[in-house]
Structure 1
């Protein structure tokens, strides 16, 4: 039986409102916007067969190559839709307003040549994940074309039951179809993590919408294998995993003292242990660390785990103490990667330097 948490993740969808770019409108009045739900685990180009008929009559003559734009930024077609949303919307927008294009495919994106391009990208991610988990890509390489097609169909249709059956063929030890089975019981030692880190400007009114992400070069990408167990046999937590991946980027409040202030601001966690240390002397005075911008007063009473930012996985802001094996079983994407979006608050001066 598939655990309920994983079912809910697979059912996750983002409400979208799509507008055809003015430069491609040839009719008066222009076509109305198109509203739809986009699966979190899907990819934007998979929406085009539903979107294009709505705008077809307004398009100019020419070859159609669909792509999407958010606040002037062309969106990467090979990144899962949910990851794009979590990364680009510090304050979640509902619906998510995107511009759709069918002409002038941007040169900064990887060329897109139809659904086969997405399938190749997906299979390559599976190979990378398989190598992390098993030390080999043979589990993916041994899939027949029919098995690959069935696996891809399950992703496109959001059919988790078919996906789990295909994954048993792919690699029995990676199957997540039991809520009671843990990663160590499936002989999994490592899981693949993919981090996307963005610094988001804040001002006196909160998170600024005046300075959207201008270029993908401003995102830091890190892909690493993460150990399930510590040397003492205990389960690795999310926070421990992140600190192992990039210790300079993830810091407890108690570790700030003595840190080089010229370094970019890390994501700061006031864990219970660090709070206890701070209480013994005095509460952490973040005014001493000008690059650390506390966000609590911007969140309107919303609970936050971090002093100056957010972590999102599958639209969830997880407790840093969650075990990595639970995250891998319930929040991993269909390509087996755990996609982690990290957003760190910064001021205008620091954000412009990124």
Structure 2
């Protein structure tokens, strides 16, 4: 069965694509080389993107306040004492740590004291692209045993990445729709997902979208399988900034609420943060 994006579905995909996080970035006081702190830098960052893709703008804004010895240093962002992992999509970081409160999201840019134990370094924009394509390939391996991404050409891979970098919905989805095809079974082999809990590594597990008896599995089924001990603790489950009903089929969620890396990023927030 050929995959088609219906009108309403396409609107959902576009609404998610156009989501933005208002961010206010301040320079860490220990890295400031001027008598007074520079003005913070305000920007609207696409939820689907990655922070390194906007860091050149941040560097340029703070360049006059940074000593020459730090100009080439690896810049890292921190929120409320938490170093932010650059290889997580911006929307995932916002959902995971902000609790949806506090607009703009106040972050601190650091040029020194890189937290080696908490973060991996991002040497270049190309490193972000490599990470992104590795995730897309892993997701396709789970959904289609890697057959779709393998049959694509190099220019298709580049179009995916450039569509994300350039914030071009049509450029990206012209290729990504192929990765969302379900085939004759009308479902993926497995659901590519990562379940995030603050201060814990993400959880992944092989979850099929359809049970052996033919029943379509739901978000509630997935949570019961992956984190049964946390379901009755008052946690809030957020995907793409919203709280889907637990009865939502995970196949639908994977097709419509996945990030551009083709993973369904599920944030499980404790009651005090929700």
TM range (shorter): 0.7 to 0.9
> Is 1:98 the equivalent of 2:107?
yes
Q: Which residue matches 2:84?
A: 75
Give the alignment of 1:262-277 within 5 angstroms.
266-268=230-232
Q: Which residue matches 1:153?
A: 162
Q: Which residue matches 1:44?
A: 51
* Residue 124 (structure 1) shift: 1.2
Please tell me whether the aligned partners of residues 184 and 228 of structure 1 are also in contact (alpha carbons under 8 angstroms).
no
Please tell me whether the aligned partners of residues 312 and 340 of structure 1 are also in contact (alpha carbons under 8 angstroms).
yes
Please tell me whether the aligned partners of residues 223 and 231 of structure 2 are also in contact (alpha carbons under 8 angstroms).
no
5+ long unaligned stretches in structure 2: none
Between structure 1 and structure 2, the one with the greater Rg is 1
* Residue 220 (structure 1) shift: 4.2
Q: 1:148 to 1:91 in 2, by over 3 A?
A: closer
* Residue 159 (structure 1) shift: 1.7
Q: Which residue matches 1:120?
A: 130
* Residue 67 (structure 1) shift: 1.2
Give the alignment of 1:196-345 within 5 angstroms.
196-198=196-198, 218-246=199-227, 248-249=228-229, 266-268=230-232, 292=233, 308-345=234-271
* Partner Cα separation in structure 2 for residue 82 and residue 343 of structure 1: 14
After the TM superposition, which of the residue ranges 6-15 and 185-194 deviates more from structure 2? 185-194
> Is 1:174 the equivalent of 2:138?
no
Q: What's the TM-score once normalised by structure 1's chain length?
A: 0.69
* Residue 185 (structure 1) shift: 5.9
Q: CA-atom RMSD, angstroms?
A: 2.2
Please tell me whether the aligned partners of residues 17 and 36 of structure 1 are also in contact (alpha carbons under 8 angstroms).
yes
Q: Which residue matches 1:252?
A: none
Please tell me whether the aligned partners of residues 227 and 241 of structure 1 are also in contact (alpha carbons under 8 angstroms).
no
* Residue 338 (structure 1) shift: 0.2
* Residue 165 (structure 1) shift: 1.4
Q: Which residue matches 1:275?
A: none
* Partner Cα separation in structure 2 for residue 144 and residue 104 of structure 1: 41
* Partner Cα separation in structure 2 for residue 184 and residue 323 of structure 1: 18
Q: What's the TM-score once normalised by structure 2's chain length?
A: 0.88
> Is 1:9 the equivalent of 2:16?
yes
* Partner Cα separation in structure 2 for residue 318 and residue 233 of structure 1: 22
State the number of aligned residues: 263
> Is 1:85 the equivalent of 2:94?
yes
* Residue 167 (structure 1) shift: 2.4
Q: 1:173 to 1:14 in 2, by over 3 A?
A: closer
Q: Which residue matches 1:135?
A: 145
The CA deviation string for residues 77-123 of structure 1, in whole angstroms up to 9 with x for no partner, is 10111111111123522110000123343212112111111111111
Please, which of 29, 36, 44 is the counterpart of residue 29 of structure 1?
Answer: 36
Please tell me whether the aligned partners of residues 167 and 174 of structure 1 are also in contact (alpha carbons under 8 angstroms).
yes
* Partner Cα separation in structure 2 for residue 226 and residue 92 of structure 1: 32
* Partner Cα separation in structure 1 for residue 18 and residue 109 of structure 2: 24
- What secondary structure, in the 3-state scheme, does the structure 2 residue paired with 1:38 have? strand
* Residue 187 (structure 1) shift: 4.9
In proportion to residue count, which structure has more strand? 1
* Partner Cα separation in structure 1 for residue 183 and residue 170 of structure 2: 19
Please tell me whether the aligned partners of residues 238 and 321 of structure 1 are also in contact (alpha carbons under 8 angstroms).
yes
Q: 1:71 to 1:47 in 2, by over 3 A?
A: same
* Partner Cα separation in structure 2 for residue 112 and residue 157 of structure 1: 19
